[in-house]
Amino acid sequence: MKSRLFKDLLYEQVARIGKALSSPKRLELLELLAQGEKSVDVLATELSADIKLISAHLKALKEARLVVSRRDGKYMMYQLTGNDVAGLWVTLRQVAEAHLIELRVALDHMVADPSNLAAVSREVLLEQAQRGDVWVIDVRPRSEYETAHLPFARSIPVGEIERRLAELPLDKEIVAYCRGPFCLLSDEAVSLLSARGYRVHKILDGVSEWQAAGLPVEQLLSASEEIHAGA
């Protein structure tokens, strides 16, 4: 009897994670927080939801020890408790893609033109970017790029593309990425650049997918780290 009660307790603790992940909004919150620390206000805007509702979802994630919070002036800031939480989101999504035809169909509809996808492996893309054969652009907000980004990627948020066209080469392929397969920012970037004569493709990976595949990411040094590094 004691053994049964103990096993029930073990499964109950693991089930806390499953319960916390049982909401579509909470899954989207995990994806957004995998990009870096964000305030409740920013998260509410990104999800087009009421702040009270987002706060309630964050509370559930916090109770499951998937996120932590801190106060920064009048704002409550949230971040994931570790990269393994971002990896959990990637694994969960991949399992869903493998077993749910409805999800695969929906993803196919998102990628309206498969020719927009880069046709090389992650490793080959990394080699091409290192040689300068392709330009990889991160079209997420700058703060997310600073938290972590793909090696050799340049930060050009989608909202800045039109005024920064002069920075982009017309004689090289451009590869855009954003937050992952469910993110549409890279599609917008491809549309903008292809209409202006650039050779541009996208990849479905975000930073979390890149890390889950065991590939390196880069981070920008903070101001204090730069001073220390230069000392």
Among 58, 88, 178, 189, the one annotated catalytic: 178
Q: Which helix (H) or strand (E) holds 79?
A: strand 75-80
Question: Exposure pattern of 213-223 as b/e (b: 16+ CB <10 Å)?
Answer: eebeeeeeeee
Q: Nearest-5° angle of CA 101, CA 214, CA 216?
A: 125
pLDDT reading at 109 higher than 50: yes
Residues 6+ apart with CB under 8 A from 138: 144, 145, 149, 150, 153, 154, 155, 156, 177, 178
One of 1.20.1260.10, 3.30.300.30, 1.10.10.10, 1.10.10.60 is the CATH number of 2-85, namely 1.10.10.10
Q: What is the DSSP letter of 214?
A: T
- Encode pLDDT of 160-195 as tens digits: 999 999 999 999 999 999 999 999 999 999 999 999
Q: How far is the CA of 6 from the CAs of 17, 19, 80, 124, in angstroms?
A: 18, 20, 29, 49
Where are the chain's structural domains? 2-85, 112-212
pTM of the model: 0.88
Residue 133 CA, distance from chain mean position: 25
Residue 204 CA, distance from chain mean position: 10
Question: What CATH code is assigned to 112-212?
Answer: 3.40.250.10
Q: Mark whether 178 is an active-site residue.
A: yes
Which position has the higher pLDDT, 77 or 224?
A: 77
- Encode pLDDT of 65-107 as tens digits: 999 999 999 999 999 999 999 999 999 999 999 999 999 999 8
